[in-house]
Amino acid sequence: MSTIRDAQSLGDLLRRNCQLWPDRTALWVPIKGDFDKVTYGELWERVLGMAGAFRNLGLQQGDRVAIFAESGISWAISDWGAQVLGLIVVPIYPTLPGDQAAYIVQDSGAKMILVGNSELAGRVEGLVDSQIVGLGPVGNLPNVEQLASAHALSQSEAESALRSVRRDDLATIIYTSGTTGNPKGAMLKHDSFLILMEGVQKNLPVGPDDTFLSFLPMSHVYERSAGHFLPMAIGASVAYAGSLATLAGDMVKVKPTVMLCVPRFLESVRARIVDAVEKDKPFRQFLFRAALSQGLKRSQGKFAPMAGLLDKLVGAKIRARTGGRIRFFVSGGSALPQHIAEFYMAFRLLVLQGYGLTETCAITSVNHPDRSDYTTVGEVIEGVEVKIAPDGEILIRGRGVMAGYYGKDEATREAIDPEGWFHSGDIGQFVGQRLKITDRKKDLLVLANGKNVAPQPIEGKIREASHIAEAVLFGDNMEYVCALLIPDFDALKRHYKNAGRDYPGDSAAAIDPDVRKLLKSELDEVNRSLADFEKVKKFEILDHTFSIESGELTPSMKVKRKVVKERYADRIDSMKR
């Protein structure tokens, strides 16, 4: 029985499902190395408390409330409590510095900001006029959890509040991280989330028997849509990881069936497995490599007579690290590199690539587990229209598209044309029924000879190299393509050790001629697969990684190409000579 179609708001959907499945497990909450379970009925009682606390603090329907906190049950319940009252939630990444968080609070007109701890409170104190409230005990700030226990709404009060919240009302304003300029607040309606969740159910086999393990930031539209709203809409359960440090153990304890992730997570898991194998006995290394080779051939339909036996010896142990019940990972946020996809395929761990943007509630297309093609982002979900413009840009239309950018009419008109098509800024094409992303429209490099180079596919290939963690290409008005490279410093440490040398530190390694020769050999290997005008002719090596704090990465870990270009202008100019 689906309640999504009947619900008139997100809060109403939760109420219906909590009444329908009061004894079903809704949430797993980390407690002292283990998990407590919260039923749908208990969840609803806590949501009523949070909604009552908000009302006691003077918030009314249509008010904006910002959440500046780490993900977890408090974040989730505060969001659901706001949805019951018809408040508009403004999520803020907990990694943002104070001035950027304050900009979002001020720009959105948030009446209140909920903070998760004293450190986050300190970042915005003195920078915002809004009331600052603790999600729990935070210094001397009002404690919303205490208020929740004393001022819970009654069932009748909740139902009265919900009757006034409509599908066409705003549920949230999510600020795009933006690779240039200040972020813009995408206004998303209750209807947008509801219609897309209904579509996902028809494109992706998820249901009440699934357990999602949540570790991505709920301030990001991806986790909020597919890891927070969706599980509660289908009667599934969500387990919150204690932290990134406990995630590996949490997977074994929770035994999730579905995990949302980003390619960086998948790569880090792969790297840890490979690193452990390299330290193991030679025979075990041989078994691992044989299992990887045979498993990949099996997944590609090729002759692999030893795949079954090797899978029992090696693959089963790798799957056990995920809890042993994973039906699939769903990867989003950035392109899934080929070597990562094939690694997981080899060990019968399915990774489904999907696609969406903040402005489309994160859900536009996703691969189906029965017909997945990792080189694409899958089939467009029901309720969404997608077409390719003459210049290759992906255009999206439907009820899942944002209402516009908050307070920015001109930017809204630039993004959504008079026919309702949202201009994604991504370049792509259809491969049969599946959508494939090839690059970002604004990132195309125009060489001095007029040739256009799409940098992202090339950067992705370079990042597959064993000793290169990051690559950023440049070439506008230049004779050739050049690159800034960031080594994989952990891999370099192993390289030095294998060579019988002490690691001299990141800065010294970056200028070591041996390291330069190593990275050049890997770059040359990539160049052999490229057209001549696409080849990276020169490169510079940086001695540090990019970070959110330094402004080179967005909160969703995308490189701010413009910032990097300005910050390293001298290094880039040196490659023009």
Classify 139 in phi/psi space as left (phi over 0), alpha (psi -120 to 50) or beta: left
- Which residues are registered as beta bridge partners of 576? none
The whole-number pLDDT of residue 180 equals 52
Cα-flanking dihedrals φ and ψ of residue 245, to 5°?
Answer: -70, -30
Q: Which band of pLDDT confidence, cut at 50, 70 and 90, is reported for residue 178?
A: low
- Decide if pLDDT at 26 tops 50: yes
Angle, helices 155-163/40-56, rounded to nearest 10 degrees: 70
pLDDT of 418 higher than 80: yes
Whether 477 has a pLDDT exceeding 90, the answer reads no
User: Each residue of 57-109: pLDDT tens digit?
Assistant: 999 999 999 999 999 999 999 999 999 999 999 999 998 889 889 999 999 99
Which amino acid would we find at residue 422? F
pLDDT at 409: 96
Confidence (pTM)? 0.85
Across the chain, what does the average pLDDT equal? 93
How do residues 34-48 score in pLDDT, each as one tens digit?
Answer: 999 999 999 999 999
> Closest Cα to residue 398, out of 430, 356, 432?
356
Angle at 249 (CA atoms; ends 246, 254), nearest 5 degrees: 110
Residue 442 has pLDDT above 80, yes or no: no
* DSSP letter string, 425-482: EEEEEEETTEEEEEEEGGG-EE-TTS-EE-HHHHHHHHHTSTTEEEEEEE-TTSSSEE
What stretch of H or E contains 329?
strand 328-331
| pLDDT given for residue 410 in this prediction | 95
Whether the CB-CB separation of 539 and 523 falls below 8 Å is answered with yes
Residue showing tokens 């536009």: 364
Q: Helix 282-299 and helix 338-346: axis angle, to 10°?
A: 100
Token digits of residue 530:
């490229």
pLDDT category at 456 given cuts 50, 70, 90 is confident
- Average pLDDT on 239-263 reads 94
Is the pLDDT reported for residue 2 higher than 70? no
Q: What percent of the chain has pLDDT over 70?
A: 99
CA 112, distance to chain mean position in Å, is 26
Q: Which of 226-235, 260-269, 363-372 has the weakest average pLDDT?
A: 260-269
* Domains located in the chain, CATH noted: 10-257 (3.40.50.980), 263-324+326-441 (3.40.50.12780), 444-574 (3.30.300.30)
The reported pLDDT for the residue numbered 181 is 63
- Nearest C-alpha neighbor of 237 from the set 210, 262, 214, 261: 210
Predicted confidence (pLDDT) per residue in 236-250, tens digit: 999 999 998 999 999
Cα(438)–Cα(391) distance, rounded to whole angstroms? 12
pLDDT exceeds 50 at position 15 = yes
Q: Whose structure tokens read 């079954």?
A: 308
Higher-scoring residue by pLDDT: 448, 127: 127
Average pLDDT over residues 151-160: 95
What is the per-residue pLDDT across 270-304, written as a single tens digit (0 to 9) for each? 988 988 898 889 999 999 999 999 999 999 999 99
pLDDT at 206: 95
Residue 1, pLDDT > 60, answer no
What's the pLDDT score for residue 264? 83
- Average pLDDT on 145-174 reads 95
> Over the stretch 332-380, which tens digit does the pLDDT of each residue have?
887 888 889 999 999 999 999 999 999 999 999 999 999 999 999 999 9
